[in-house]
Amino acid sequence: MSLFTGSIREIGDARALDVAVVDGLGAQLTGFDPSRPANAGITTVSVDNTVGGTSLLVANPARRQFIVHNDSAGTIFVALAATASATAFTYEVAGNSTIEGPLNGYTGAISAFRVSGVSAVRVTEVTT
């Protein structure tokens, strides 16, 4: 029994390729949502050393992508969780740097923490 069979070919001058992974019975396991995001909200959040971190975004099932820009000189610690700290984080974001979540990625709560000082953090949430 083979773990992978199939072929991919280009048709005409196609610009994008939709791919789906299916199990042995043909049930789709993953896929690509070709719809395009239609809305974005931008907020500025002050992030400091508050215990548990500062909320950047609440859980949102309509989220298609998030972008976090640390608009200050100090490093912030961003967690894909409701709480963040200098030892419990997903991303370490240096001053004047940006992180971008994957399209059709994480839709849960996002928080941030800064060891000392305050960072102005610009958060963009792209939704359907």
Please give the mean pLDDT across all residues of the chain.
86
Using one digit for the tens of pLDDT, what is the confidence trace for 22-65?
Answer: 667 766 665 555 667 789 999 999 999 999 999 999 999 999 99
Kindly report whether the global pTM for this prediction surpasses the value 0.85: no
* pLDDT above 90 (res 12): no
Give the sheet arrangement for strand 91-93, strand by strand.
54-57, 110-113, 76-79, 91-93
Residue 5: per-residue pLDDT = 59
Q: For domain 39-127, say whether CATH 3.40.250.10 is its number.
A: no
CA angle 121, 125, 128 (to 5 degrees): 175
Locus of tokens 């992180």: 99
Domain-wise residue ranges, the chain: 39-127
Identify the pLDDT of residue 80. Answer: 97
Determine the pLDDT at residue 27.
66
Give me 88's structure tokens.
């419990």
